[in-house]
Amino acid sequence: MAEWLDACGEDDLIAAGCLSVPVEGRLVALFRHDGSYYAMQGICTHGSATLTKGKFENGEVICPLHQGRFCVKTGEATGGPVWDDLKTYQVRAENGRILVQLG
Ligand code: FES
């Protein structure tokens, strides 16, 4: 079973709504939506854009480079020039920290 890895403070994610953090050499995008947390790859599947530098609205993150859209609950590509879904990760909060499993 994959190890749970520390990503960031829960308060930081609540305040920001979305964050990109490096975890074991990978950029992980973290989102808080409808009171739940979601984690997925931080780089767009279409190019080398950091997704959290784009917009995050209505449960979707919009890539800053070509406006590809992804569902933050599932990582599914939902619009724009993107076809490949984002890889998602298990995420949970514990003792004020956000933990992820990169699998
Ligand atoms: S790099 Fe994200 S849509 Fe092109």
Q: What is the CATH number of the domain that holds 31?
A: 2.102.10.10
Which DSSP category does 10 fall into?
Answer: H
Q: How does pLDDT run across 65-93, given as a tens digit for each residue?
A: 999 999 999 999 999 999 999 999 999 99
Residue 2, pLDDT score: 84
49 lines ligand 1 (CB under 6 A): yes
Question: Is position 34 within any domain?
Answer: yes
To the nearest 10°, the Cα dihedral for 80, 33, 36, 81? Answer: 10
Structural domain that includes position 85: 5-95
Distance 89 CA to ligand 1 centre (A): 20
Residue 99, pLDDT score: 98
Question: Is position 10 within any domain?
Answer: yes
- The answer to whether residues 46 and 27 touch, using CB atoms and an 8 Å cutoff, is no
Residue 21, pLDDT score: 98
Question: Is position 71 within any domain?
Answer: yes
Amino acid found at 68: G
- 3-state SS class at 83: coil
CA distance 23 to 82: 24
Residue 29, pLDDT score: 98
User: Per the structure, how many domains does the chain have?
Assistant: 1
Question: Is position 88 within any domain?
Answer: yes
Radius of gyration of the chain from its Cα atoms, rounded to whole angstroms:
13
78 lines ligand 1 (CB under 6 A): no
Q: How does pLDDT run across 28-63, given as a tens digit for each residue?
A: 999 999 999 999 999 999 999 999 999 999 999 999
Atom of ligand 1 nearest to the CA of 68: 3
Question: Is position 80 within any domain?
Answer: yes
Strands of 77-79's sheet in order across? 55-57, 60-62, 69-71, 77-79
